[in-house]
Structure 1
Amino acid sequence: MSVDSFKLAAARRALGFVEPKMRLGLGTGSTASLFVELLGEEVRKGLSVLCVPTSEDTRLKAAKFGIPLTTLDETPLLDLTIDGADELDGELRLIKGGGGALLREKIVATASDRMIVITDVSKRVDKLGAFPLPVEVVRFGVTATRNMIEMLAADAGCHGEIKLRIGRDGEPFVTDGGNYIFDCAFGRLDDPESLDEALKFIPGVVENGLFLGIADAAIIGGPEGVSVIEASYGENQEEAV
């Protein structure tokens, strides 16, 4: 079996959490894209849902599959968000933002009663940090902001290369919100909460890719099937299905 098949299995399992009339947040990325396709099939069969996409890419794909769409201005409270992750640890802490949609993803996730992560087993880690942490920043004063990221991250015990993300056109990558992204290769994050707090002190930082205390469950596809991890009062319960 391939990684793609693991992702598909996780996305398919996530459909079991969707109920008629739900207001859904639709994530961004390869696994979330599979979920959008599967959801589109159910909509064509008659499932009634209303969805908020977390990126322009997701919006276009959802519209292509005929999924009814809304915005957080029109529908500010959602029942459930289904999204992927670049890394996931045993406490359901995440690194997200590899696709550049971390700001909208976090806004949508926190506007939801629940967030469920769908991913393949390769994204599960003991400690976050092998995947560079995306940090979204405003364009004004970008060099000063980068220097502040380096300084305050060091105070939080994090060191490593901080690179401005470049798009396929060779120019700085621009998010849907019109901002830049720094990818911070800090390595193993022993205290992601302290790093998250440090980054919030920087005026030029819009958001960072640490999703802490946001995910309520994770659906992880792997060679032995699909595992579901539920967050419960600081202790996670895992079962294979």
Structure 2
Amino acid sequence: MTQDELKQQVGRAAANYVLSNVAHGAVLGVGTGSTVNFFIDEVAAFKDRFRGAVSSSNASTARLRAHGFEVLELNDIETLPVYVDGADEIDAAGHMIKGGGGALTREKIVAMVAQTFVCIVDESKRVDLLGAFPLPVEVIPMASAAIARRFVDLDGQPTLRVAKDGSTFVTDNGNWVLDVHGLRIPDPVGLEAEVNNWPGVVTVGLFARRGANISLLGTKEGVHRIDY
């Protein structure tokens, strides 16, 4: 199976999960990325079962609306039973690196509100130790050089993310992203707490203090559910 086929099967499994576990009239939390796009496409056929969705990015909002979903503001939602999103890496404890698409801050906010975080990934994202994927960090632009120096002190190799047109990548929140290469992260909870306390950091792409509750892992043998 190709990677896209693996993503499609896990997107379908996530749609089946919410149809079986989320009450009629509830609001879905929807993340960002290529695997989530397959989930959106799969669940769209049942959109009338749900009051609407809360989205973590402008791109996902546009895709949801194109399928006829009502996209709601998180501030108007009291309960969010489930949040479905992908990850760039996930370990055996459900700790993740996220933010390859640049939506890490909004993703973390929606994940904080959700009762259950369902992470949907193909088997290439499962790792024993986080850090092979460069760690995304959303930063206030004026702090980017100072934050980069802090990561160098941790033996990281930070680079400023560049958009496809060669300009500096700008998040939906108007900030920049540092991608930190070369880290090995044996204590993701501790590193998340430390980096989030640095002035100028908006969000670090470690989802460890609020990790996944469930992962749906796409493999050539089918989709495996893992509970944490």
Give the TM-score of the pair, scaled to structure 2: 0.93
Residues 99-138 of structure 1 mapped to structure 2, 5 A cutoff: 99-138=101-140
Alpha carbons 1:40, 1:65 under 8 Å: kept: yes
Residue in structure 1 matched with residue 67 of structure 2 by the alignment: 65
| Alignment partners' CA distance in 2, 1:189 and 1:131 | 11
Alpha carbons 2:29, 2:84 under 8 Å: kept: yes
Deviates more, 1:107-116 or 1:46-55: 46-55
C-alpha change, 1:117 and 1:62, in structure 2 (3 Å) is same
| Alignment partners' CA distance in 2, 1:223 and 1:28 | 23
User: Could you give the per-residue CA deviations for residues 142-173 of structure 1, whole angstroms, max 9, x where no partner exists?
Assistant: 2123223433xx2xxxx221000000121110
Residue in structure 1 matched with residue 15 of structure 2 by the alignment: 15
Residue in structure 2 matched with residue 163 of structure 1 by the alignment: 159
Higher helix share: 2
| Alignment partners' CA distance in 2, 1:48 and 1:106 | 22
Residues 226-241 of structure 1 mapped to structure 2, 5 A cutoff: 226-231=223-228
| Alignment partners' CA distance in 1, 2:152 and 2:6 | 36
| Alignment partners' CA distance in 2, 1:128 and 1:181 | 19
User: Could you give the per-residue CA deviations for residues 186-208 of structure 1, whole angstroms, max 9, x where no partner exists?
Assistant: 33312222221220221100001
Residues 93-104 of structure 1 mapped to structure 2, 5 A cutoff: 93-104=95-106
> Structure 2: which amino acid aligns with 1:49?
R
User: Could you give the per-residue CA deviations for residues 170-228 of structure 1, whole angstroms, max 9, x where no partner exists?
Assistant: 11100000000000013331222222122022110000110013211000111111100
| Alignment partners' CA distance in 2, 1:72 and 1:141 | 28
Residue in structure 1 matched with residue 76 of structure 2 by the alignment: 74
> Structure 2: which amino acid aligns with 1:126?
D
Match of 2:46 among 42, 46, 51: 42
Unaligned runs of at least 5 residues, structure 1: 232-241
State the shift of 1:76 in Å. Answer: 4.3
| Alignment partners' CA distance in 1, 2:204 and 2:86 | 16
> Structure 2: which amino acid aligns with 1:184?
V
User: How many residues are matched?
Assistant: 223
Residue in structure 1 matched with residue 174 of structure 2 by the alignment: 178
| Alignment partners' CA distance in 2, 1:143 and 1:50 | 40
Residue in structure 1 matched with residue 214 of structure 2 by the alignment: 217
Alpha carbons 1:149, 1:199 under 8 Å: kept: no
| Alignment partners' CA distance in 2, 1:148 and 1:162 | 9
Pair 1:207 & 2:184 matched: no
